[in-house]
Structure 1
Amino acid sequence: MSWLVTGGAGYIGAHVVRAFRARGIDTVVVDDLSSGRRTFVPEGSPFVHGSILDGALLEDTMQAHDVRGVVHLAGFKYAGVSVQRPLHTYEQNVTGTARLLGAMAASGVDRIVFSSSAAVYGTPDVDLVTEDTPKRPESPYGESKLIGEWLLADQARATGLRHTSLRYFNVVGSGTDEVFDPSPHNLFPLVFDALLDGRTPRINGDDYPTPDGTCVRDYIHVADLADAHVAAARRLDACEPIESVYNLGSGDGVSVGEIMREVARVTGDDFTPEVGPRREGDPARIVASGELAARDLDWRMRHTLGEMVASAWSARRAASVE
């Protein structure tokens, strides 16, 4: 029996696949390669090229590989772009999730770990976000993730589906030089690409009400995140009590300025970032408590900021010489 990982050829998904395999759990990957890379999928994990919008393909895959559970990571994840492409976002993230749940029901697969997002909270008015903090998404992306959580809850009431959703924030680092973050929108890739191109990295705003004037966020290592997915899947497999949602937060956060200083130290490039204007809608601080996940999923920050930067930089440099 195996676990299906949708989006398993992506940056996060490929780490999740490796974490499952490291614990002796077979996986099968479905990915349309719209943002993932076939080379990210490790040898030994069957790969199916296709979309989660294709319910028949999903059913065939589940039956052919004796799937017992799903880790659902596939989707359109760019919050800013989702404002310009709302229908595409809803099709990929809402219709896609509904098709997946339908294929699971038809195939007798009754457990799922859903990749949700801190975007469901919008701009919170608390210093430390918990699972009960009001949900006020500010983009079609955030709305689509919240709807995904609702779909799981509704299906659970209707069919007994066992599920949990992991809400996470800024995922960085790498667990292997074989997989790096290629996103054109995330902070680490933007900074590394600038350095590799001989440009000075740029940040957005340095006049926020924070200790160094730059935004404070939760940054978590992708390998720690992947381990939490495995822990959630194991809990579902064992029919142990599990919450419907967990925040995978650091509890204290890191500022963009701190990251820039650590990047300069790790890379040996003693740069001072250019400062652009604030981005509209960027809150000064978003930091979440991970206490609930620590209790049930052995969640904790196992990597320092330096290790996050160093591992991400190593993977990005390895990719640049391929």
Structure 2
Amino acid sequence: MTWLVTGGAGYIGSHVVLALREAGLAPVVIDDLSSGFARFVPEDVPFVQASILDGETVRGTLREHGVEGVIHLAGFKYAGVSVRRPLHTYAQNVQGTATLLEAMVAEGVRNLVFSSSAATFGTPDVDLVTEQTPTNPESPYGESKLIGEWLIADVARAGSDGGNDDDRLRHTSLRYFNVVGSGTPRLFDTSPHNLFPLVFDALAHGRTPQINGDDYPTPDGTCVRDYVHVADLAHSHVVAAQRLAAGETLEPVYNLGSGEGSSVRQIMDTIREVTGIDFTPEIKPRRPGDPARIVATGELARRDLDWAMRHDLRAMVASAWEARQLAGNDYPA
């Protein structure tokens, strides 16, 4: 079975490609390399350098490789930047998804796993986010991901009205928060906006890592977030793909959450322990809009997608640090 991975040269996408291969499935990658890296794609995996906004190339890729399903990770993923670049965000995430869906319908590809985001929830007023928690995105990025979910559901409904169930789109959307760690030392997170790369980069250049606010109503005063290991995440994407390909019906949305979360100070303490670099984080003012705690349950995904937190916080940090060290001077600026 061949699966197309959009954004398969990125941090999460490249881990999904590895997980597909380990499961005996044949991945094909399409990526415009706007944030991904060609070297993240294994040499024996077909790679098409193109944007998903190029509908003809997407259709040709689906057709040429006999694609059975798509794991859709391509998109503009920076929530903060999306506030300054809303049109770009909507073009990449909404029009890109619509173009992909048009190509899938035209080529008869009926299985789709969508990489959504916990940004669809905004700042929920609950201790533990579930799939029933109301969505209230607070950035163009979060809005674009929620619209993507709507588009997919609409296409599925349109395909099933009065038609054969075999012709309808089988789909699920996976929402998650902070993805960290590395499943193999040759793959690593290069985002200039994520906590782990920011701290590692500061340490590598002799700067002091920063904590934005230590006066939140949490046990240690710093924000609590859901951190999940990228390899655990990739595994559940593949399980979702396998179940859809088998004709099974999944929930429209799953949260891939830890159920507990970790504080920023816990992250800093673990990084200090793992790296052996002694530092005391500099405390900066709170960032506007940062909620004290956002943590999701993963119970539904545990039931249906073999979701589990197989890596503790130390393993997350250790694997990410090993990959960062191995990258050395090859680490992208």
TM range (shorter): over 0.9
The residue identity in structure 2 corresponding to 1:72 is: H
Alpha-carbon offset, residue 241 of structure 1: 2.4
The residue identity in structure 2 corresponding to 1:282 is: D
Q: State the TM-score, normalizing by the size of structure 2.
A: 0.96
Which residue does 1:138 correspond to in 2? Answer: 138
Which residue does 2:181 correspond to in 1? Answer: 173
What per-residue deviation string (whole Å, max 9, x for no partner) do you get for residues 166-218 of structure 1? 00000000001111000000000000000011111111111100000000000
Which runs of structure 2 are paired with 1:95-174 in the superposition (5 Å)?
Answer: 95-159=95-159, 160-174=168-182
Which residue does 1:86 correspond to in 2? Answer: 86
Taking the aligned partners of 2:317 and 2:46, their CA distance within structure 1 comes to 31
Taking the aligned partners of 1:47 and 1:241, their CA distance within structure 2 comes to 30
Counterpart selection for 1:203 from 191, 208, 211: 211
Which residue does 2:4 correspond to in 1? Answer: 4
Cα RMSD for the two superposed structures: 0.6
Which runs of structure 2 are paired with 1:260-299 in the superposition (5 Å)?
Answer: 260-299=268-307
Q: How many residues align?
A: 322
The residue identity in structure 2 corresponding to 1:222 is: V
Taking the aligned partners of 2:230 and 2:308, their CA distance within structure 1 comes to 12
Alpha-carbon offset, residue 321 of structure 1: 4.1
Say whether 1:238 aligns with 2:246: yes
Taking the aligned partners of 2:43 and 2:260, their CA distance within structure 1 comes to 37
What per-residue deviation string (whole Å, max 9, x for no partner) do you get for residues 229-271 of structure 1? 0000011011122100000000010000000000000000111
Question: SS in structure 1 opposite 2:29?
Answer: strand
Say whether 1:249 aligns with 2:249: no
Alpha-carbon offset, residue 140 of structure 1: 0.1
Taking the aligned partners of 1:61 and 1:319, their CA distance within structure 2 comes to 31
The residue identity in structure 2 corresponding to 1:95 is: Q
Question: SS in structure 2 opposite 1:29?
Answer: strand
Unaligned runs of 5+ in 2: 160-167
Is the 2:170–2:249 Cα contact (8 Å) retained in structure 1? no
Taking the aligned partners of 1:163 and 1:23, their CA distance within structure 2 comes to 19
Taking the aligned partners of 2:4 and 2:290, their CA distance within structure 1 comes to 35
The residue identity in structure 1 corresponding to 2:267 is: I
Which residue does 1:53 correspond to in 2? Answer: 53
Unaligned runs of 5+ in 1: none
The residue identity in structure 2 corresponding to 1:130 is: T
The residue identity in structure 2 corresponding to 1:19 is: A
Say whether 1:304 aligns with 2:315: no
Question: SS in structure 2 opposite 1:308?
Answer: helix
Question: SS in structure 1 opposite 2:19?
Answer: helix
Taking the aligned partners of 2:216 and 2:41, their CA distance within structure 1 comes to 40
